[in-house]
Structure 1
Amino acid sequence: MNEENKPRNGPPERWTRFSVEQMDPKTHTYSTVYIGYSTHHLVAGLESSTSYNFRLRVTRASGECILSPMVSVFTAREPFSGKNLHQAVNREDEDELSTVLQSGMVDVDVYDKMGFTPLMVAAQKGFTSLVDILMKHGADINKRDSTGKDSLMQASFAGHLITVKYLRNCGSTWQSRDTDGCTPLHWAVDGGHLPVIKYMIQDGCEVDVIDKVSLWTPLMRVSAIGGNAAVASILLQAGADVNVRDKAGKTPLMVAVLNNHVELVKLLLDSGADHHMKNEGN
């Protein structure tokens, strides 16, 4: 039976008292973290993966004091969490990423507070070596964020050609769509990254693919959003329909004029845009 469970006779000052003392690693002096009559005490608030030194002071009712030898302990590392996994990706730390994944404690597709998986984050940042590690540990290439964008769309918008090629080799498809029906090419066009757009087209990506909301092709998105004539030129050279109409009946030329994209307007006209066409409202 433990002493703390034995009935004690007489006043407390006649009981044996125990003190747990912790050594300060800088000053090598001791401070008391517990004093009482229990023979068991749990020291709270310790850091993980850290060394600590303790000693026990036993004070008898007679006043006799006995000190134990110093006891060194090393706390265990806290279990890995999704936070550790995402931190490793954001720091581009291959060793830490591998350590967390090899522990088997964390789902490789765990979402962060923004709704991104580690693979999405690595793809968006262009960390191809991390993408490779995540894929080899079973990351789902088809996972999507709250807007329906997958890792290929993230990499395409950010313009990371090597990452885009890697994801394609792993099975990502140009036909994937977000919640608005936009494809990786729509997002690459929005990002304005010519090498990525050229690679997509060379790889067989459909040039006149339309979204589900406005029925915009990538060329229409250029006219409506960025006005990037260099991007439009690549699309037109690949056979994009210069006179395609959107849901409202507008053509890329009409939209480019409305948005005052002067250089793009000239390019569209030179590429055969019909300036006589009218939208459905006219």
Structure 2
Amino acid sequence: LLSHSRRVLTSISATFSLDEVISAVKSGDMMRFRRTTEYFLAHTNEDGSNNKIMSVISNWRDEKGGTVLHWLCRNVRCTKAHSGDDLVHSVVKYAAELLCIQDSQLKLPLHIAVEKGEVLVCRVLKLLQLGSPICVRDRNGHAPLDIAYTYGNGSIVKLLLNSGATFHELLDSEEK
């Protein structure tokens, strides 16, 4: 019976693809992501299963050079249940470095969330709580505060200022 159970587990892990983790993230469904990662961790008999999940999350890139966090900020809306924000939190738990990675336009996930404005205020807050850099400039020379100010998004401007962003950089860029 024990050897049969091991064969079944080996068979399950052999048919499981880590691409399913990315698919779960892209679905925007926190519960699916949890089930997928828990399933993978429970059904692989290998050391380093957690590292494999971290690796696939860290290394995935979209057509714009963005990470799964960029993708979530571009494509997963905020809901009353905040499942997208919970998903961001879980992804960062596996790969915190994604907060600092820039896409092909040199945008951080925070730049993208700020560009979405009021639709993603809670996402901006979550990224800031998780430690996203706030003064990084994109390819156009814009920091997240510049973007929020330009779009007239007062609530995001306040969040960024309360998190350490300053108008000094914004004023310097306007003087040029």
Equivalent of 1:210 in 90, 102, 111: 102
2:31 corresponds, among 141, 162, 167, to 162
Instruction: Name which structure has the greater RCO, CA cutoff 8 Å, separation 6+.
Output: 2
Bigger fraction of residues in helix = 2
The alignment's TM-score, normalised by the length of structure 2, stands at 0.66
Shift of 1:157: 4.0
Kindly indicate whether residue 117 of structure 2 is the aligned counterpart of residue 264 of structure 1. no
Q: Does 1:138 align with 2:22?
A: no
Please list every run of 5 or more consecutive structure 2 residues that lacks an aligned counterpart in the other structure: 1-11, 41-51, 79-83
Question: Is the counterpart of residue 243 in structure 1 residue 127 in structure 2?
Answer: no
**Inter-CA distance 156–220: structure 2 relative to 1 (3 Å threshold):** same
1:194 pairs, out of 85, 89, 107, with: 85
What is the distance in 1 between the residues matched to 2:139 and 2:174?
A: 9
Cα distance in 2, alignment partners of residues 187 and 217 from structure 1: 11
Q: Which residue of 2 aligns with 1:233?
A: 125
2:115 to 224, 234, 238: 224
TM-score of the superposed pair, with normalisation by structure 1: 0.43
Q: Report whether the alignment pairs 1:174 with 2:57.
A: yes
Which AA in structure 2 matches 1:161? M
Structure 1 unmatched runs, 5+: 1-134, 143-150
Give, in whole Å, the separation in 2 of the partners of 1:218 and 1:271: 16
Aligned residue for 1:229, secondary structure, equals helix
Q: Is the 8 A contact 1:159 1:196 kept in 2?
A: yes
| Whole-angstrom CA distance in 2 between matches of 1:157 and 1:260 | 30
Alignment of 1:44-55 (within 5 A): none
Output the amino acid matched with 1:138: T
Classify 1:155/1:226 alpha carbon distance in 2 versus 1 (closer, same or farther; 3 Å).
farther
Task: Report the Cα offset of residue 185 of structure 1.
Answer: 1.2
Which residue pairs with 2:48 in the alignment?
Answer: none
Q: Is the 8 A contact 2:135 2:165 kept in 1?
A: yes
Task: Please tell me the residue identity of whatever aligns with 1:196.
Answer: L
* Aligned-residue offset at 1:239: 1.4
For 2:173 and 2:26, the matched residues in 1 are separated by 30
Percent identity, please. Answer: 26
2:8 counterpart residue number: none
Deviation at 1:217, TM superposition (A): 0.6
Bigger radius of gyration, 1 or 2? Answer: 1
| Contact preservation (8 Å) 1:156, 1:187 | no
CA shift for structure 1 position 210: 1.2
The aligned residue for residue 47 of structure 2 is none
Which one of the candidate residues 141, 161, 166 is aligned to 1:274? 166
Task: State the one-letter code of the partner of 2:155.
Answer: E
Considering fraction of residues, name the structure with more strand: 1
Q: Return closer, same or farther for 1:153/1:215 CA change in 2, 3 Å cut-off.
A: farther
User: Would you say the 8 A contact 2:73–2:112 is kept in 1?
Assistant: yes
Post-superposition Cα deviations, 1:19-59, rounded to whole Å, max 9, x if no partner, equal xxxxxxxxxxxxxxxxxxxxxxxxxxxxxxxxxxxxxxxxx
Alignment of 1:13-92 (within 5 A): none
One-letter amino acid of the structure 1 residue matched with residue 73 of structure 2: V
